[in-house]
Amino acid sequence: MVRVKARHRNSRKPKPVEHQPTKTVADYFKDRLGWKPSQRPFHTTANRECGGCGAVKPGSEFGVPVTPGRPELNTCRECST
């Protein structure tokens, strides 16, 4: 006797539905009020890790603004001289 595998009704995965991004209420008010992101550099006094020596130092030891993802720019004053 030969056994036959039972077939599933829907053996294919459904295609993902692509949703177009909708505008949020916040985006609507930003447009209406003319909001633009700040272009000023962001300096902080919080502790940061130096990209050169790897030490965690206070933010006042750094002469550059916070640059996430760029450890070569996050160097303390001792390492940058």
**Sign of torsion, CA 43 44 45 49?**
negative
Considering the domain boundaries, does residue 47 fall inside one? yes
pLDDT of residue 2: 66
Q: Which domain holds residue 63?
A: 42-74
Q: How sure is the predictor about 32, in pLDDT bands with cuts at 50, 70 and 90?
A: very high
Count of domains in the chain? 1
Give the per-residue pLDDT at 77.
86
Tokens of 32: 């209406």
Task: Output 2 or 35, whichever has higher pLDDT.
Answer: 35
What is the rounded distance in angstroms from the CA atom of residue 2 to the CA atom of residue 5? Answer: 10
> pLDDT averaged over the chain?
81
Under the banding of pLDDT at 50, 70 and 90, the label for residue 26 is very high
Residue 69 forms part of a structural domain: yes
d(CA 36, CA 32): 11
